[in-house]
Amino acid sequence: MDNLSSYTPPKVWSGLKESGGRFASINRPTAGPTHDKALPVGRHPLQLYSLGTPNGVKVTVMLEELLAAGHTGAEYDAWLIRIQDGEQFGSGFVSVNPNSKIPALLDRSGAAPVRVFESGAILLYLAEKFGAFLPSSGAKRAECLSWLFWQMGSAPFLGGGFGHFYAYAPTKIEYAIDRYAMEVKRQLDVLDRRLAESPFLAGDEYTVADMAVWPWYGALVKGQLYEAGEFLQVQAYRHVLRWTDQIAQRPAAQRGRMVNRTIGALSSQLHERHDAGDFDTRTQDKLAAPP
């Protein structure tokens, strides 16, 4: 701690030193494209450019749930954006999301394409476009939107805070890990208390709020994020675990979790999704199998 406490920030920050951290190669203090690269476009109305991280999974779960509910206009092409390779800084991607983060959606169903970026905005856009998974008015809508935006404000403490310092930072800093571990456990307690009162976050109905929270906090309580399950004692949050398992049994959620996924069993990875049949024919185990 002596070395840490001796650091005094300069009057003017002058740039990143080589950190050796996992994401050091793609971190930079400026926005905009680094290279020219057009985005591919498929045949469906909705074009998704993403990766199977928790933020990406939110949207693919939503799209698969819409299709399962009979909304055929929600057919989509999902294109893989490899953020470790800097593909989010291509000119085409930046034109859809100037923030260079996945996921990004381009809706080509109308006279002019509509871009939507930020995962919460995409969920809300799709819910309103199809009239699904979002109460139309009143207290139920307010409750749903409150939990949706709770996730958008809370998850950075989990991912960029706890996840970074616990799993990715090149050095382990006790203060930072303790600070964010405390906050993440507080968030889990918030969720656990809410889910002790109702089956889903917004009440009795499954909504976009659950789709937003589940990929982050559901994975966390199942020990699938940052290998931190034992450290955070996630088994204590039994109502979150019940809710997590309930959503994980939904076929659309299972499909959504596979899309743009690049880790885990090859049978769970569908790098690109262009048709419902791709889940049966184009997972990585099948593509890697000898002819």
Question: The tokens 């450019």 sit on which residue?
Answer: 49
Q: What is the pTM of this model?
A: 0.95
> In a 3-state reduction of DSSP, which class is residue 87?
helix
Low-confidence winner among 11-20, 48-57, 70-79 (lowest mean pLDDT)? 11-20
- List, for residues 161-209, the tens digit of each pLDDT value: 999 999 999 999 999 999 999 999 999 999 999 999 999 999 999 999 9
Reported as a pLDDT band with limits 50, 70 and 90, residue 270 is very high
- List, for residues 111-156, the tens digit of each pLDDT value: 999 999 999 999 999 999 999 999 999 999 999 999 999 999 999 9
**Residue 289: its pLDDT value, please?**
87
Distance (Å) of CA 41 to CA 154, 222, 238? 33, 36, 43
Which amino acid is located at 271 in the chain?
Answer: H
- Which ranges of 157-262 does DSSP label H, i.e. alpha helix? 174-195, 208-213, 219-221, 229-232, 238-248, 251-258
**Residue 1: its pLDDT value, please?**
47
Which residues make up the CATH 1.20.1050.10 domain(s) of the chain? 138-257
Give domain 46-130's CATH superfamily. Answer: Glutaredoxin (3.40.30.10)
Low-confidence winner among 24-33, 41-50, 123-132 (lowest mean pLDDT)? 24-33
Quick one: residue 46, left, alpha or beta (phi over 0 = left, psi -120 to 50 = alpha)? beta
Which residues make up the CATH 3.40.30.10 domain(s) of the chain? 46-130
- List, for residues 51-72, the tens digit of each pLDDT value: 999 999 999 999 999 999 999 9
Check pLDDT > 70 for residue 20: no
Per-residue DSSP letter, 40: P
Exposed, middle or buried, 257 (CB in 10 Å: 0-12/13-18/19+)? buried
**Residue 290: its pLDDT value, please?**
84
Strand partners, 270: 259
Which amino acid is located at 239 in the chain?
Answer: H
Residues 6+ apart with CB under 8 A from 60: 48, 50, 52, 78, 255, 256, 257, 259, 260, 273
Q: Tell me what the pLDDT averaged over the chain comes to.
A: 95
Q: Are 103 and 49 in contact (CB under 8 A)?
A: yes
**Residue 6: its pLDDT value, please?**
78
Cα-based angle 42, 43, 44 (whole degrees, multiple of 5): 100
**Residue 26: its pLDDT value, please?**
79
Q: Given 1.20.1050.10, 3.40.50.300, 1.10.3720.10, 2.60.120.560, which CATH number is that of 138-257?
A: 1.20.1050.10
Q: pLDDT: is 92 or 9 the higher one?
A: 92
